[in-house]
Amino acid sequence: MVWLTTKEAAELLGYTERAVRAKATNKEYVSRYIPSSTGQGGKRMEVSLESLPDQAQRAYHNQTTGDAQTVFNTDYASTKEQRRKGESRALAVAEYRKFLKQSKKAGMAKKTEIMGLFVEQWNRDHDFQISKKSLYDWMKKSKSGQVEKLVDRRGGYNRGQSTIPKKYRELFNSLYLRQTKPTIESCYREVKLNANLNGDFLPGIKAFRNYVKNMDDATVVRAREGEKAFDDKCMPYMERDYSKLLPNQFWVSDHHLWDIFVRVPDGKGGWKLERPWGSYWMDMRTRKVMASIVRTESPNSDIVLCSFGLGVEHFGIPNGVRLDNGKDYKAQDMFYPQGKYIVSDDEKEKIFTSLAANLQIEVTYAIPYNAKAKPIERLFNTFEGQLGKMYPSYAGSNAKQRPEDLKNLAIMDVITLEEFITQHNQYVYRIYNETGHSGDAMYGKSPNQVYADIPFTVRRASKEVLYFSLMRVKGQRVVQRNGVTFKGIHFYNDSCINYIGQKVAARYDPTKPEILYIFDLDENFLFVAEEVQKQGWDLTAEDYQRENRRKKIARQKAQNTYTADNITRSVETIGERLKRQAEEMTCAEIAKPKTIEVIRNSKIEENIRRISMGDIERQYEDTLKQNAARKKAVSDKQKELADKFKKKMLDRAYQKQA
């Protein structure tokens, strides 16, 4: 048999010690007296554990075996009524002490008489009635009249405090700490069922709510939301000092799918809704948007290159770039970190320098799925808040945030893609870049103002070097009898006859996909190949003459010793081809930098020296005119044949009627 002190029994039962002694005296609990120097009359009462209710016995065994955890509700103090009475008791004690002090000064000596007079006066003036015994007990509990010590906690002193056995606590953890995010109620039902089968005591659901409230937030986030949420919300992060950067020292880039719908043609005479994509380059020091391209097609490497070329032409070449981990940013001919890459798996050597190597750009890729590593993503939130939400076709970033009235919006009330591009460029370059910024080291200035105020070195390259550096390189090709095949299309030059069977590499301008620049595997320029125009079946004499002339030239080149041709095509920059979009940009006047650094590339410059620009421009324009004339002639011929056939059929019909 286990014997407990009245204090221990009171804690298990939720009673006061006086109540426990009274129940033991009335034979509700088995009790005994043992000799004690601290008890009244030299003896102390003990209560038998086995005579207490089963709930109290289980609570005792859970505590003594170390198999339980006490859970506290820190929000609980006492009931409102108990608190109100405690405040009244504290006030009575404080008032009595004042009354006692004044009475002693008046010459009254007996405390019993003074207390009696105070009690009579208090009961006349207050609804809360007291007695001398009560007042004496309250003064023993708190001489200074503290409210917390005078609150009656019977039936509620341990409210918000309960004990959860260890094995059920672990079972609850295994159920609750999952990424499926089950509710406390569902987990509690499972634990409760298990406890009932074992015949064990289990506290109510409030104990488990308090247990969850006391859990470590980092543990809950990692278990229920995953590693990424844990890293984003709980892990410490490095803080960067933007004041130590210079303009053009680092550009950062990413794509953004706008949370609005725009209207575009569906190719069938009607309209359809699409969400536009934007590709952006931002200067990290000034937060200035350097370039952007908006379209409805998904991001790709060509868009990355075009937008980068647009920014470089206007503002110079950045010292470094910080990029997303998407495959469109990892194209080997663009920002390949090692600078050189393999044209083909068959080649052992790494050949062909990348864009980053040609322009001497440091490349850094962000940690995957880490938004803090790409500060440009905060810019997209600004764009959506200041521009995207202005449109009735705003759809929200997910289905839960989608406005309900969006489904009632007529398609003709949705802005077109062209209108959005115009308004987008006006906002980005005339509003955002000119608006004060609260970011680190911005000092409330606008991106354009900070970009203009800080002196820095602008890195530039010649028009021709920049143009060839911004070309795409599409791997190794083998020259065949009809030229070089790229994307299922043949590209031909009269010089192809001298390279049949040889391996070459093809460069192309994304804005001019109809021509290829052909290089050998040592990066030496060879010739420009044009797209071979497929012919119809009704060929004219002129068509035959042109094909015979092509064969004659090929035969002559095969018979003669090959001499390098000075044949190439337009060296118009990507920025010039995108001039219509660039003209919409309004950029602040750049403060004159201290120095201008010119990027040199001997290999590219050597290839350029072999090119006669004026002749190439004229030849390229003549080729375009010839292709257009040939297409028109074919179309006219087809129309003439159709008219003849129609007339012939009508004549037959008239003859039958006759």
386-442, pLDDT tens digit by residue?
999 999 999 988 777 788 888 889 999 999 999 999 999 999 999 999 999 988 889
- State whether 380 and 264 are in the same domain: yes
Tell me the two tokens of residue 373.
């590593």
Rounded to 10 degrees, the C-alpha dihedral 214/218/223/228 comes to: 160
Distances in Å between the Cα of 431 and the Cα atoms of 29, 292, 382, 393, 426 are: 82, 15, 12, 22, 7
| pLDDT confidence tier of residue 595, bands split at 50, 70 and 90 | low
- State whether 455 and 479 are in the same domain: no
Percent of the chain with pLDDT over 90: 22
**Checking DSSP bridges between strand 271-274 and strand 362-365, what pairing results, if any?**
unpaired
264: left (phi over 0), alpha (psi -120 to 50) or beta: beta
- State whether 479 and 441 are in the same domain: no
Cβ pair 323, 253 in contact under 8 A: yes
Residue 387 contacts by C-beta under 8 Å, 6 or more apart in sequence? 423, 424, 427
Query: Other CB atoms closer than 10 Å to residue 651's CB: what's the count?
Result: 10
What is the predicted pLDDT for the residue at 538?
Answer: 56
What is the predicted pLDDT for the residue at 490?
Answer: 83
- State whether 457 and 364 are in the same domain: yes
Cβ pair 564, 524 in contact under 8 A: no
Cβ pair 382, 432 in contact under 8 A: yes
Element (H, E) at 265: strand 262-265
Cβ pair 435, 386 in contact under 8 A: no
- State whether 31 and 93 are in the same domain: no
Residue 587 lies in a domain: no
- The better pLDDT of the pair 276, 467 is held by 276
Q: Final residue of a domain: which of 150, 171, 193? A: 150
Residue 89's domain comprises 80-150
Q: Final residue of a domain: which of 108, 124, 150? A: 150
Q: Please report how the helices 6-13 and 54-64 are oriented relative to each other, as an axis angle in degrees rounded to 10.
A: 110
Question: Per mean pLDDT, which range of 166-175, 272-281, 615-624 is the poorest?
Answer: 615-624
Token look-up 């004041």 returns 243
State the Cα–Cα distance between residues 73 and 83, nearest whole angstrom: 17
Residue 593 lies in a domain: no
Residue 365 lies in a domain: yes
- State whether 356 and 436 are in the same domain: yes
Count of structural domains, the chain:
4
Cβ pair 544, 339 in contact under 8 A: no
* Tens-digit pLDDT profile for residues 52-67: 887 677 667 666 555 5
Cβ pair 92, 122 in contact under 8 A: yes
How many Cα atoms are found within 13 Å in the side-chain-facing hemisphere of 651? 6
State the Cα–Cα distance between residues 384 and 396, nearest whole angstrom: 9
Q: Please report how the helices 132-141 and 111-125 are oriented relative to each other, as an axis angle in degrees rounded to 10.
A: 100
Residue 334 lies in a domain: yes
Percent of the chain with pLDDT over 70: 73
Residue 14 contacts by C-beta under 8 Å, 6 or more apart in sequence? 155, 157, 158
- State whether 17 and 134 are in the same domain: no
Residue 330 lies in a domain: yes
Which DSSP letter does residue 106 get?
T
What is the predicted pLDDT for the residue at 27?
Answer: 86
Residue 27 lies in a domain: yes
Please spell the DSSP secondary structure of 486-530, one letter per residue.
Answer: ETTEEEE-GGGGGGTT-EEEEEEETTEEEEEEEE-TTS-EEEEEE
- State whether 119 and 252 are in the same domain: no
What is the predicted pLDDT for the residue at 446?
Answer: 94
Residue 188 lies in a domain: no
With 0-12 CB in 10 A as exposed, 13-18 as middle and 19+ as buried, what is 559?
exposed
Distances in Å between the Cα of 104 and the Cα atoms of 111, 122, 393, 559, 616 are: 9, 18, 83, 136, 118
- The better pLDDT of the pair 308, 606 is held by 308
Q: Final residue of a domain: which of 423, 438, 461? A: 461
- State whether 253 and 372 are in the same domain: yes
- State whether 315 and 453 are in the same domain: yes
Bridge partners (DSSP) of residue 616 are: none
Residue 204 lies in a domain: no
State the Cα–Cα distance between residues 25 and 28, nearest whole angstrom: 8
| AA letter at 102 | Q
- State whether 335 and 406 are in the same domain: yes
What is the predicted pLDDT for the residue at 545?
Answer: 63
Phi, psi (degrees; rounded to nearest 5) at 504: -135, 170
Q: Is the pLDDT of residue 572 over 60?
A: no
- State whether 249 and 129 are in the same domain: no
Q: Is the pLDDT of residue 561 over 90?
A: no
* Tens-digit pLDDT profile for residues 455-492: 998 988 877 777 777 777 766 788 887 788 887 788 88
End-to-end Cα, the chain, rounded Å: 130
**Checking DSSP bridges between strand 262-265 and strand 362-365, what pairing results, if any?**
unpaired
